[in-house]
Structure 1
Amino acid sequence: MKKTILAATVALTTAFGAQAIEVHNPDTAFLDQVGAVGITQANWESGQSAKLTLKHAYKFTHYVELSKGEFTHDIGVAQGFDLKGPLAYDLDGLHDMETVLRDRLNTESIVMLKDGQLVDEFYWSGMHKDHTHLMMSVTKSFTALTLQTLVEEGKVDVNKLISDYLPELKDSGFGDATVQEMLDMRSGVKIEFTPGKIWDERMTHVQEWNGVNNYSELKSILDFGATLGKRTDVNTGEAFDYQCAHTEMLGMLIARVTGMTAAEAMEERLWKRVGFENNAKLQSNHNGEAVMSGGLNATTRDAAIMMDVLVNGGKNRAGEQIVSPEYISNLMVGNDEVKSAWKHDGFSQLHADAWYKDQFRVLNVDGHSFILMVGIHGQVIVGEPSTGKVIAMTGAQDQMQAPRTVGMTMLSVIPTLLKSM
Structure 2
Amino acid sequence: MTDPSQYRDPRNPGGPRIPRAEWDGAPHNRWTFQNVRQIVPTAEVWRGPGPVLPLSSAPQNLAGLEFECDGTRQTIAEFLDTSFTDGFIVLHKGAIVTETYMNGMQPRTTHLSQSVAKSIVGTVAGILHGRGELDFAAPVTHYLPELANTAYRGATVQQVMDMQSGVLFDETYTSPDSHIAKVDAACGWKEPKPGWPDTMWKLITELTESEAAHGESFRYRSIETDVIGFILQRVSGLMLPELVSRELWAPMGAEEDAYFTVDPSGYGLADGGFNATLRDYARFAQLICNVGAAHGRQIVPRSFIIDLPNGDHAKFGDDYRIALPKGAYHNQFWLEEPGEPVAICRGVFGQLIYINPRHDFVAVKLSTWPEFTHPRRTRTALAAIRAIRAVVV
With over 3 angstroms needed to count, the CA separation of the structure-2 counterparts of 1:34 and 1:138, relative to structure 1, is: farther
Please tell me the residue identity of whatever aligns with 1:225. Answer: I
2:360 maps to 1:360: no
Rounded to whole Å, the distance in 2 between the matches of 1:34 and 1:223 is 38
The equivalent of 1:14 in structure 2 is: none
Among 320, 325, 339, the alignment partner of 1:347 is: 320
Q: CA deviation at 1:186?
A: 0.5
Q: Is the 8 A contact 1:144 1:359 kept in 2?
A: yes
Rounded to whole Å, the distance in 2 between the matches of 1:256 and 1:391 is 34
Q: CA deviation at 1:352?
A: 3.3
With over 3 angstroms needed to count, the CA separation of the structure-2 counterparts of 1:243 and 1:124, relative to structure 1, is: same
The equivalent of 1:258 in structure 2 is: 236
Structure 1 residues 288-336: Cα deviation after superposition (integer angstroms, max 9, x where no partner)? 21111111110010001001111112101x112111222111112x15x
Which residues of 2 match residues 155-234 of structure 1 at below 5 A?
A: 155-192=133-170, 195-196=175-176, 199-210=179-190, 212-214=191-193, 218=197, 220-232=199-211, 234=212
Rounded to whole Å, the distance in 2 between the matches of 1:352 and 1:202 is 30
- Give the aligned CA root-mean-square deviation in angstroms: 2.5
Rounded to whole Å, the distance in 2 between the matches of 1:199 and 1:241 is 14
Q: Is the 8 A contact 2:163 2:221 kept in 1?
A: yes
The equivalent of 2:94 in structure 1 is: 116
Q: Secondary structure at the match of 1:180?
A: helix
2:51 maps to 1:71: yes
2:106 maps to 1:128: yes
Structure 1 residues 351-394: Cα deviation after superposition (integer angstroms, max 9, x where no partner)? 432210000011039x9652111111111111111111111110
Q: Is the 8 A contact 1:88 1:100 kept in 2?
A: no
Rounded to whole Å, the distance in 1 between the matches of 2:181 and 2:13 is 24
The equivalent of 1:247 in structure 2 is: 225
Rounded to whole Å, the distance in 2 between the matches of 1:229 and 1:33 is 49
2:300 maps to 1:323: yes
Structure 1 residues 3-42: Cα deviation after superposition (integer angstroms, max 9, x where no partner)? xxxxxxxxxxxxxxxxxxxxxxxxx978997994352221
Rounded to whole Å, the distance in 2 between the matches of 1:32 and 1:44 is 22
Among 354, 362, 372, the alignment partner of 2:344 is: 372
With over 3 angstroms needed to count, the CA separation of the structure-2 counterparts of 1:198 and 1:419, relative to structure 1, is: farther
With over 3 angstroms needed to count, the CA separation of the structure-2 counterparts of 1:237 and 1:294, relative to structure 1, is: same
Among 347, 354, 362, the alignment partner of 1:390 is: 362
Q: Is the 8 A contact 1:241 1:345 kept in 2?
A: no
The equivalent of 2:4 in structure 1 is: none
Q: CA deviation at 1:84?
A: 2.3
Rounded to whole Å, the distance in 1 between the matches of 2:196 and 2:222 is 20
With over 3 angstroms needed to count, the CA separation of the structure-2 counterparts of 1:60 and 1:384, relative to structure 1, is: same
With over 3 angstroms needed to count, the CA separation of the structure-2 counterparts of 1:364 and 1:191, relative to structure 1, is: closer
The equivalent of 1:50 in structure 2 is: 29
Which residues of 2 match residues 72-151 of structure 1 at below 5 A?
A: 72-76=52-56, 78-89=57-68, 93-103=72-82, 105-151=83-129
Rounded to whole Å, the distance in 1 between the matches of 2:234 and 2:45 is 19
Unaligned segments of structure 1, at least 5 residues: 1-27
With over 3 angstroms needed to count, the CA separation of the structure-2 counterparts of 1:248 and 1:34, relative to structure 1, is: farther
Structure 1 residues 226-272: Cα deviation after superposition (integer angstroms, max 9, x where no partner)? 1113333x321122111111001111001111111111111111121
Give aligned pairs, total: 383
Q: Is the 8 A contact 1:34 1:40 kept in 2?
A: no
Rounded to whole Å, the distance in 2 between the matches of 1:182 and 1:122 is 36
Q: CA deviation at 1:284?
A: 0.7
The equivalent of 2:371 in structure 1 is: 399
Q: Is the 8 A contact 2:308 2:331 kept in 1?
A: yes
Structure 1 residues 22-66: Cα deviation after superposition (integer angstroms, max 9, x where no partner)? xxxxxx978997994352221100122221111112321100011
Structure 1 residues 176-215: Cα deviation after superposition (integer angstroms, max 9, x where no partner)? 11100100000011024694465443322221112x4456
The equivalent of 1:18 in structure 2 is: none
Q: Is the 8 A contact 2:241 2:259 kept in 1?
A: no
Which residues of 2 match residues 22-33 of structure 1 at below 5 A?
A: none
Rounded to whole Å, the distance in 1 between the matches of 2:38 and 2:115 is 18
2:253 maps to 1:286: no
2:388 maps to 1:417: yes
Return the TM-score normalized by structure 2: 0.91
Q: CA deviation at 1:154?
A: 0.7
Rounded to whole Å, the distance in 2 between the matches of 1:209 and 1:402 is 23
Q: Is the 8 A contact 1:202 1:215 kept in 2?
A: no
Q: CA deviation at 1:350?
A: 4.7
